[in-house]
Structure 1
């Protein structure tokens, strides 16, 4: 019987402190200077570029300063509305919104403009290329638009190393090289893989090595077979 390890330590906080800016310093600086009534901001980038992390970091910062935040994404049940105390509205993955959510998102923009609320939204593409209704596209692209750039390889290594240190994992250069050459360089995916590897290593009471990583992947393939 395999030991099932308990989660050790807090999960990483999605804050500006835990986000490596890379080439995105201008976008982060703009967001950190945002105030109620500022023009809406749109963040776009490929899956894993950090859009959700940045929105969560902004929500945390806003709340620490005493503000209230509304969060809307594909999993937020309809109908959508604005609480009287909210001053910031965040919409994540707008490119995934169906017709009803696009209608709800446009209504949020109208209400935000009336009440003087800040709005920050995200998507996989810039507003001009999103497959959304035209009035919503206009609202999404009304203010500053920032394309989030992926981390360079040294920055990716630094992010993985920092997360491994937080977990108390020794991540050798051999394991790091294997992760970065065998898997998509999507930081979100790599962090999830590191999480699985941490749990797998603890359950087997072994250090993190390339052979252990290969065993974990092989076991997952076996479990996935019908």
Structure 2
């Protein structure tokens, strides 16, 4: 069954604070400590996991945390078709979707990595990268692949069906919202299944239900999709 993209109004910015860790606490804590420390270690970090495990959310969260500190960040993902040259003013390099990189992107990523770790001026910069598999399994040029796996490596675990339901139910209870099994089934089969998207959906459903003075039902969800 085709899942609906969550496109209701403006989605909130991905941050480290609104990432639902649930089994990935070690990776989140590592990134929190690093992003919040001006004397951060330049040892690179690599996170990997299947789709929906939260890799891109974490990288965007780190980028947002650094921007709040007025730090400049070099960012590349699969949509960066023609990456720019490395900028010595960058304070960190973030590489998302590494498993999808083209030859041009791989060359740029290698250049960014080398220049960040061995800059002409100033201290070494941190490199944070992410992909859907561990570095050893990446189909990338060897000099880039080995560098990506040199430092800290974290695997992100996507939650199973029962765990998603449990987290969603608990979040609904904390809001004083009742979700029937039918509504839960609809949410988990028709929308993106990563926890961050589900929490956003719950927040928007709660707000819409309050504004319309209605309980959360499948007809209400359909109404929100049509009217919001």
TM-score range, shorter chain: 0.7 to 0.9
**CA displacement at 1:216 relative to structure 2:** 9.8
Equivalenced residue count is 204
1:58 is matched with which residue: 62, 68, 78?
A: 62
CA contact (8 A) 2:19 2:196 kept: no
Structure 2 residue corresponding to 1:83, chosen from 67, 84, 87: 87
The answer for unaligned runs of 5 or more in structure 1 is: 1-5, 220-226
Pick which of 107-116 and 73-82 moved more. Answer: 73-82
Shift of 1:52: 0.6
For the residue of structure 2 that corresponds to 1:121, the secondary structure is strand
Aligned to 1:41: 45
SS for the counterpart of 1:33 is helix
Q: CA deviation at 1:190?
A: 5.6
Q: 1:80 to 1:159 in 2, by over 3 A?
A: farther
Corresponding residue of 1:23: 23
Structure 2 gap segments, 5+ residues each: 1-7
Q: 1:180 to 1:11 in 2, by over 3 A?
A: closer
Which of 106, 112, 136 is residue 110 of structure 2 equivalent to? 106
**Residues 76 and 83 of structure 2 are in contact (CA less than 8 Å); yes or no, is this contact kept in structure 1?**
no
Deviates more, 1:135-144 or 1:24-33: 24-33
Note if contact 1:157-1:176 (Cα within 8 Å) is conserved in structure 2. Answer: no
Question: TM-score, normalised to structure 2's length?
Answer: 0.72
Question: CA RMSD, aligned part only?
Answer: 3.6
- Where in structure 2 are the equivalents of 1:1-226 lying within 5 Å? 7=9, 11-34=11-34, 36-115=40-119, 116-151=124-159, 153-154=162-163, 157-158=166-167, 162=171, 172-179=179-186, 182=189, 186-187=193-194, 191=198, 194=201, 208-211=216-219
